[in-house]
Structure 1
Amino acid sequence: MGLTASSLNLTQYDVEEVQEHCGGKFNSREIQCLYKRFRTLDKRHKGYISEDELMSIPELAISPLAPRVTQVFQNLNFKDFCRVLAAMSDRATREDKLDFMFRVYDVDRDGYISFSDLETIVKHLVGSSLNEEQVGELITRAMGELAELRKKTGVGRGGDDGRSSPSLGGGITFDEFRVIMKGNTKLPTVKVPVGFD
């Protein structure tokens, strides 16, 4: 790709390459707008966006999950930035969006949402409004509900409290996450503002 940290414009070839990298989830105009936004965020023209630069996005900064989302997005070049955002585009499938959410919740990136992953996410969401014991009780209750779901649906490997290793059944697999999220209609969506240049 002909992009450098200081490139001011995308060539048609660059746009097509990004479109392919994103699975066609963004059109040419949206990619041009995303590139302008990327360049604005990349204040030091390094070719990637740092955690501090991501936190300068007001909509992200106010989110309780901002630390996790910035970990997913930080240090991405423009093509990869678009690829990650593509999972939340209007053209993304439900599966794409669930995969993105799963990656946010899978803090240690082991392919499972474990007790400790949930603990980290819950702490981000509730802040200091719950103490350690209350957070632990909430997660233990959620893992108990997961065990019941596993019994009802046959999805998963049988249950425990989620504190053990994934091979022993502790942790939510992507297939289970899909089942858990089945009734959820509010999945993350990003709209690229075109026409406001």
Structure 2
Amino acid sequence: MGNTSSMLTQYDIEEVQQHCNGACETILPFPPFLALIADEISQQEIVSLYQRFCQLDRNVGGFITAEEFLSVPEFAVNPLSQRLLRMLDTLNFKEFVAFLSAFSPRASLQQKIEFIFKVYDSDCNGKVTFSDMMAILRDLTGQFISEKQREQVLAHVLEESGYTKDAALSMSDFMKILDNSDLKMEVEVPVD
């Protein structure tokens, strides 16, 4: 796609759609089903995302760095932004679209849960432990609740789902716990 300051061609748009139809897994640490399928992202959305990508790519290097991501106020104040940045290094435009796919209103609940699993699985061993979940709770709650309260809440959630504090949750275990939740994880792509 060349220089980020250039305009997207029809070929570039179709290439991004194709890339997000399953090729993303070779670049990003996400499973293939996290990628948007071609009919879920419109050409107009790709153009809008490209414009935003170019705004964020301040160095005009063809990729977005962690510092450039943190220039987005909503991302910078997110308590999980540092965890998300650890999942990424730098993103080119195709990877940028694939990353945002989990936040699409058209992404399935399974896609969203799988993305969240990757955020929780900080050591990338395919398991989420009690300590992994506690770390996320600390990030999310800050000093609003005590460590003991966090432990009690988390132990209760696990117990209600049939797990103990000693459990190392696989993706399927994690799905079982979150499958019945009313998970809201969406970012609207403004289309001009």
Q: Which residue of 2 aligns with 1:179?
A: 176
The whole-number CA distance in structure 1 between the counterparts of 2:88 and 2:57 is 13
Cα displacement (A) at 1:54 = 0.8
Residue 139 of structure 1: aligned partner = 151
Q: 1:15 pairs with 13, 16, 21, which one?
A: 13
Write the distance in 2 (CA, Å) between the matches of 1:73 and 1:28: 25
Alignment length (residue pairs)? 175
> Which residue of 2 is the match for residue 121 of structure 1?
136
Cα drift, residue 139 of structure 1: 3.4
Q: Equivalent residue for 1:91? A: 106
Asked whether the equivalents of residues 106 and 117 of structure 1 are also in contact (C-alpha less than 8 Å), the reply is yes
Offset from partner CA, 1:116-174 (integer Å, 9 cap, x none):
322321221122345xxx43662365246425523xxxxxxxx5533xxxxxxx32221
* TM-score between the two structures when normalised by the length of structure 1: 0.78
Counterpart position of 1:161: 165
Unaligned stretches of 5+ residues in structure 2: 21-36
Aligned mate of 1:68, from 61, 80, 83: 83
- The question of whether the paired residues in 1 share the 8 Å contact of 2:126 and 2:171 is answered with yes
In structure 2, what is the Cα distance between the partners aligned to 1:160 and 1:183?
A: 19
Contact 1:54 1:74 in 2 (8 A): no
Aligned pairs for 1:39-118 within 5 A: 39-118=54-133
User: CA separation of 1:123/1:171 partners in 2, compared to 1, >3 Å: closer, same or farther?
Assistant: same
The alignment's C-alpha RMSD in Å is 2.1
TM-score normalised according to structure 2 size: 0.80
Change (3 A) 1:193 1:145: closer
Q: CA 1:29 to 1:8, structure 2 compared with 1: closer, same or farther past 3 Å?
A: same
SS at match of 2:161: helix
Query: Retained in 1: the 8 A contact 2:121–2:127?
Result: yes
Runs ≥4 residues deviating over 4 A: none
Q: Say which structure, 1 or 2, has more relative contact order (CA 8 Å, 6+ apart).
A: 2
How far does residue 187 in structure 1 lie from its aligned partner after superposition? 2.3
